[in-house]
Amino acid sequence: MRVGTSNINQYLANSLEKFSQKGGEKVSDYVNAAGKMAIAPLVIMNNPFTKENKENRKWAAIKQPVEAVITLAMQLASLAVLYKGIDSLIKKGKINFKYVSDAAKDASKIPQKLLDACGNDKDKALRMYKNQYNEVLKDRLGAVVTALVYLPVLAISNKIYPQIARKLVNNNENKSAE
13 occurs within a structural domain: no
5: left (phi > 0), else alpha (psi -120 to 50), else beta? alpha
69 occurs within a structural domain: yes
| pLDDT tens figures, 44-72 | 888 888 888 888 888 888 888 888 888 88
Residue 178: band (very low, low, confident or very high) from pLDDT cuts 50, 70, 90: very low
Letter string b/e over residues 27-53, b meaning 16 or more CB atoms within 10 A of that residue's CB: eebeeebeebbeebbeebeeeeeeeee
Looking at residue 96, its pLDDT comes to 84
Burial, 71: exposed, middle or buried (Cβ in 10 Å; 0-12, 13-18, 19+)?
A: buried
Instruction: Tell me how many domains the chain contains.
Output: 1
Q: Is the pLDDT of residue 79 over 70?
A: yes
8 occurs within a structural domain: no
7 occurs within a structural domain: no
Looking at residue 175, its pLDDT comes to 46
Cα 107 to Cα 120: distance, rounded to the nearest angstrom: 10
| pLDDT tens figures, 139-177 | 889 889 888 988 888 888 888 888 887 887 765 544 443
Half-sphere exposure of 59 (CA within 13 A, CB side): 11
Confirm whether pTM is higher than 0.85.
no
18 occurs within a structural domain: no
1 occurs within a structural domain: no
Query: What is the span of the domain harbouring residue 71?
Result: 24-177
12 occurs within a structural domain: no
Mean per-residue pLDDT of the chain: 81
53 occurs within a structural domain: yes
Cα 73 to Cα 138: distance, rounded to the nearest angstrom: 18
Q: At what angle do helices 24-34 and 122-177 cross, to 10 degrees?
A: 10
Give the C-alpha distances (Å, rounded to integers) separating 26 from 72, 79, 141, 156.
Answer: 9, 8, 12, 21
Burial, 55: exposed, middle or buried (Cβ in 10 Å; 0-12, 13-18, 19+)?
A: exposed
Average pLDDT of the residues in 96-121: 86
